[in-house]
């Protein structure tokens, strides 16, 4: 992951720190890709949870509890 702090430079004419445009674009693209990957994982987890919930609902809950 690109650390923008590593690429910032002070530009006296603007009296501020700046990051080269190409570095900023690369950092944004990396961040978007990471979020998309995380969303894919979350979607798969949601599917798994739904499937587990469905299976649990189908379990026979009629357990005969006897006092000994």
pLDDT of residue 10: 96
Residue 62 has pLDDT above 70, yes or no: no
pLDDT tens profile 21-56:
999 999 999 999 999 999 999 999 999 999 998 888
Domain edges within the chain: 4-57
Instruction: Please tell me the distance from the alpha carbon of residue 1 to that of residue 31, in angstroms, as a whole number.
Output: 8
pLDDT of residue 66: 63
pLDDT of residue 55: 84
Distance from chain centroid for Cα 47:
16
pLDDT of residue 30: 94
CB neighbours of 23 closer than 8 A, spacing ≥ 6? 2, 4, 7
pLDDT of residue 68: 56
């Amino acid at each position: 992951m690109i650390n923008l702090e590593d690429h910032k430079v002070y530009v006296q004419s603007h009296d501020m720190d700046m990051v080269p445009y190409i570095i900023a674009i690369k950092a944004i693209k990396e961040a978007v890709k990471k979020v998309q990957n995380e969303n894919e994982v979350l979607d798969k987890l949601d599917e798994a949870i739904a499937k587990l919930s469905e299976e649990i609902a189908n379990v026979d809950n009629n357990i005969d509890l006897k006092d000994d």
